[in-house]
Amino acid sequence: MKNVINATLSLSKEEMREYGYQIIDHIVAHFDTQEEKNPVAMASRKDMEALLMEEVPLEATNAQAVLNDVMEKIMPNSTIVSHPKSYSFVPGPSNYISTMADTLATGFNIFSGGWAASPAAAELEIITIGWLVEMFGFPTEKGGGLFTSGGSMANLTALVTARRVKCGDDFSKAVIYLSDQAHSSNIKAIRVLGFKKEQIRIIPTDIEFKMAVNKLKNAIAKDRLEGLHPFCIIASAGTTNTGTVDPLDTIADICKTEDMWMHVDGAYGGAAILGTHGKELLKGIEKADSLTVDPHKWFYQPYEMGCLIVKNHKWLSETFTEKPEYLRDVEGNESEINFYDHGIQLTRRFRALKFYMSVKTFGLNSFKAAVQYNLELAEKVEGILRKSAKWEVISPATLAVINFRYNPIGKNFSEKKLDALNQEISKQVIGSVEALLVTTVLQGQVVLRMCLINPRTTLQHVQETLDCCEKIAATL
Ligand X SMILES: *Cc1c(COP(=O)(O)O)cnc(C)c1O
The contact set with ligand X (CB under 6 A) reads 90, 150-152, 155, 183, 185, 236, 240, 265, 267-268, 294, 306
Rounded to the nearest whole angstrom, what is the least distance from the CB of residue 365 to ligand X in the complex? 25
Is the separation of the CB atoms in 215 and 204 below 8 Å? yes
Rounded to the nearest whole angstrom, what is the least distance from the CB of residue 450 to ligand X in the complex? 15
Taking the least distance from each CB to ligand X, the nearer of 254 and 451 is 451
Is the separation of the CB atoms in 97 and 104 below 8 Å? no
Taking the least distance from each CB to ligand X, the nearer of 155 and 426 is 155
Rounded to the nearest whole angstrom, what is the least distance from the CB of residue 248 to ligand X in the complex? 14
Rounded to the nearest whole angstrom, what is the least distance from the CB of residue 99 to ligand X in the complex? 18
Q: Which residues pair with 439 in a beta bridge?
A: 448
> Is 403 strand, coil or helix?
strand
- CB count, 10 Å around CB of 15? 13
Q: List, as one string, the DSSP characters of 30-59.
A: HHHHGGGS-S-----HHHHHHHH--PPP-S
- CB count, 10 Å around CB of 54? 6
CA count, 13 A, side-chain hemisphere, 438: 10
Taking the least distance from each CB to ligand X, the nearer of 297 and 342 is 297
Rounded to the nearest whole angstrom, what is the least distance from the CB of residue 117 to ligand X in the complex? 25
Taking the least distance from each CB to ligand X, the nearer of 179 and 185 is 185
Taking the least distance from each CB to ligand X, the nearer of 113 and 238 is 238
Taking the least distance from each CB to ligand X, the nearer of 155 and 439 is 155
Taking the least distance from each CB to ligand X, the nearer of 185 and 338 is 185
Task: For residues 383 and 381, give the distance between their C-alpha atoms in angstroms, rounded to a whole number.
Answer: 5
Taking the least distance from each CB to ligand X, the nearer of 33 and 78 is 78
Rounded to the nearest whole angstrom, what is the least distance from the CB of residue 445 to ligand X in the complex? 21
Comparing every residue's Cβ against ligand X, the nearest one is 151
Taking the least distance from each CB to ligand X, the nearer of 114 and 278 is 278
Is the separation of the CB atoms in 269 and 245 below 8 Å? yes
Pairing of strands 261-266, 229-236: parallel
Rounded to the nearest whole angstrom, what is the least distance from the CB of residue 234 to ligand X in the complex? 10
Rounded to the nearest whole angstrom, what is the least distance from the CB of residue 152 to ligand X in the complex? 3
Rounded to the nearest whole angstrom, what is the least distance from the CB of residue 291 to ligand X in the complex? 11
Rounded to the nearest whole angstrom, what is the least distance from the CB of residue 90 to ligand X in the complex? 6
Residue of 103, 47, 53, 54 whose CA lies nearest to 77: 47
Taking the least distance from each CB to ligand X, the nearer of 115 and 195 is 195
Please give the torsion angle defined by the CA atoms of residues 370, 375, 380 and 381, in that order, rounded to the nearest 10 degrees: 100
Number of continuous H segments (helices) and E segments (strands) in the chain = 16, 11
Q: List, as one string, the DSSP characters of 64-120.
A: HHHHHHIIIIIGGGS--TTSTTB-SSS-----HHHHHHHHHHHHTT---S-TTT-HH
Question: Which residues are within 8 A (CB) of 41 and not within 5 positions of it... i.e. 6 or more apart?
Answer: 76, 77, 78, 79, 80, 433
